[in-house]
Amino acid sequence: MRQIILDTETTGLEPSQGHRIIEIGCVEVINRKLTGRHYHQYIRPERNIDEQAIEIHGITPDFLKDKPVFSEIVDEFMAFIDGGQLVIHNAPFDVGFINHELKLHKGNFKAVKDHCSVIDTLVMARQKHPGQKNNLNALCKRYMVDNSQRDLHGALLDAEILADVYLMMTGGQTALSLSDKDTSSGGGQQEEGIQRLSKKFTTPIIRADITEEGAHQQKLQTIHKASGDNCIWLTKS
* Amino acid letter, residue 67: K
Total number of domains in the chain: 2
Residue 176 lies inside a defined structural domain of this protein: no
Give yes or no: residues 49 and 142 share one domain. Answer: yes
The yes-or-no verdict on residue 154 having pLDDT over 50 is yes
The helix/strand count (H/E) of the chain reads as 9, 5
Are 142 and 227 contained in the same domain?
no
Domain-terminating residue out of 152, 169, 186: 169
Q: Do 148 and 216 fall into the same domain?
A: no
Whether residue 189 lies inside any domain: the answer is no
The answer to whether residue 46 sits within a structural domain is yes
Q: Is residue 111 part of a domain?
A: yes
Quote the crossing angle between the two packed helices 91-105 and 70-81, to the nearest 10°. 130
User: Would you say residue 87 lies in a domain?
Assistant: yes
Domain that holds residue 128: 2-169
Q: For residues 195 and 207, what is the distance between their CA atoms, to the nearest angstrom? A: 34
Are residues 142 and 61 both part of a single domain?
A: yes
Kindly indicate the confidence band of residue 229, based on its pLDDT and cuts at 50, 70 and 90. Answer: confident
Identify whether residues 125 and 207 lie together within a single domain.
Answer: no
Q: Which DSSP helix (H) or strand (E) runs through 6? A: strand 2-10
Domain C-terminal end among 169, 184, 212: 169
Average pLDDT over residues 214-231: 80
Give me the active site residues, please: 153
Please give the pLDDT value at position 108: 87
Instruction: Looking at the structure, tell me whether residues 136 and 54 fall in a common domain.
Output: yes
Helix (H, G, I), strand (E, B) or coil at 27: strand
Does 83 share its domain with 152? yes
In a domain, 89, yes or no: yes
Please check whether residues 157 and 215 belong to one and the same domain: no
Contact 195, 29 (CB under 8 A): no
Tell whether 148 and 206 lie within a shared domain: no
Looking at 147, 169, 191, the residue that finishes a domain is 169
Residues 17 and 59 in one domain: yes
pLDDT (tens digit per residue) in 165-216: 999 999 854 333 344 444 333 333 344 444 444 444 455 667 788 888 888 8
Mean pLDDT of 69-87: 97
Query: If 0-12 CB within 10 Å is exposed, 13-18 middle and 19+ buried, where does residue 191 land?
Result: middle
Global pTM value: 0.72
Confidence at 23, pLDDT banded by 50, 70, 90: very high
CATH number at residue 72: 3.30.420.10
Q: Do 146 and 229 sit in the same domain of this protein? A: no
Residue 79's contacts (CB-CB under 8 Å, 6 or more residues apart) are: none
Q: Can you give the pLDDT at residue 218?
A: 83
Per residue in 32-67, pLDDT (tens digit) is 999 999 999 999 999 999 999 999 999 999 999 999
Identify which has the larger pLDDT, 97 or 195.
97
Average of pLDDT values for 19-23? 97
Taking a C-beta distance cutoff of 8 angstroms, is the pair 142, 172 a contact? no
Q: Domain check: are 110 and 52 in the same one?
A: yes
Tell me if 184 is assigned to some domain: no
